Amino acid sequence: MDEIKPVYDSSLLKPSFIEEFLCLLRYRGLIPRLISRIITTRYKRSVLGLGWTMLNPLLTMIVMTIVFSALFSNSIDNYPIYLLSGLFTWNFFVNSTSNSMSEMLAGAIMSQRIYLPRSIFVFAAIGAELVNMLIAFIPLIIIMLFTGAKIGPALFVLPFSILLLLIFASGIGLILATIVLFFTDIVQIYNVLLMILMYSSPIMYPREIIPEKWRVMLWINPFTYMLDIIRPPIYNGIIPGPQAFLVSFLIAFITFLIGWFVFTSKVKEYAYRS
């Protein structure tokens, strides 16, 4: 009885952007495992465990609301929800992209020895953060109820908005994960870039406070477009128009494709580095 064995022939390999995709398909069952590993190890040694994910937005809201309400309360109704819906989106983006780098570094040891699609570590990092985001949604809904925000059918478009955000973050995560294998100081550089990005995005402040001549800063900022499809359903109960979705869709997919090609063209070289 001769079982059919998988055959690997290095001369028959497809281009790496296809090869990586096929390999990822074969190992897709591993992604949920890695996600649950990330989540369990993150909370294993803390007393409050997953409670942190819930408490964090509450505490942030209290602090930020006290600090900024005096500034913006006249220009924005229900500032806590305006702020939280922004932070909800922002935190996902920051954590998922930063964790892409740390998971990639942690996984590098493994993938130097065992054949794995290396992008699996990026997708696991993004996926773990998605779980976190969904948990953080619970306190957000509670605060919405308390502050009398509109909870309506517009919320049903959120899964689609979040999917686009996920694709966008994956693209950035793939680029960062590629760079971090070669230059570890990207972690510090990225933190600085994030700070610039955060202050140039209308997360804490209304976009109207940006003077007309500086508005271009919001237009060239891809994160603004992500906010445009996530905040309105939460904050005003409005479904974003098709144009907003189209722009976000294009940004997300182009970013992802760039990330995928950068990653697959460079990541194989890493085995040559150590």
Partner 1 sequence: MHIDPEASTTSLLPAIELSGISVCYRVPRENLSSIKEFTIKWIKKDLKYEEFWALKNIDFSIFPGQVFGILGKNGAGKSTLLKVLARVLLPTSGRVIIRGQVFPLLELGGGFHPDLTGRENVFINGELLGIPRNEIKRRFDEIIDFSEIEEFIDAPIRTYSTGMITRLAFSVATCKRPDILLADEILSVGDVAFQEKCINRIKGFAGNGSTIILVSHSIQTVRSFCSQALWLDHGQIKYLGFAEDVAEHYQNYMHP
CB of residue 209 vs partner 1: minimum separation in angstroms?
Answer: 34
The residue among 5 and 213 lying less far from partner 1, judged by its C-beta, is 5
* Residues 59, 61, 64, 66, Cα dihedral to 10°: -90
d(CA 173, CA 99): 8
Give the footprint of partner 1 on this chain (CB under 8 A).
Answer: 1-3, 5-11, 13, 27, 29-30, 33-34, 37, 40-41, 44-45, 109-116, 179, 182-186, 189, 268, 271-272
CB of residue 178 vs partner 1: minimum separation in angstroms?
Answer: 13
The residue among 33 and 215 lying less far from partner 1, judged by its C-beta, is 33
CB of residue 229 vs partner 1: minimum separation in angstroms?
Answer: 33
d(CA 138, CA 84): 12
CB of residue 9 vs partner 1: minimum separation in angstroms?
Answer: 5
Residue 273 phi/psi, 5-degree rounding, is: -90, -15
d(CA 30, CA 124): 9
CB of residue 218 vs partner 1: minimum separation in angstroms?
Answer: 28
The residue among 13 and 151 lying less far from partner 1, judged by its C-beta, is 13
Residue 209's CB is within 10 A of a number of other CB atoms, namely: 12
The residue among 40 and 191 lying less far from partner 1, judged by its C-beta, is 40
Residue 268, SS3 per DSSP: helix
Extract the tokens encoding 130. Answer: 């998605």
Residue 39, SS3 per DSSP: helix
The residue among 44 and 213 lying less far from partner 1, judged by its C-beta, is 44
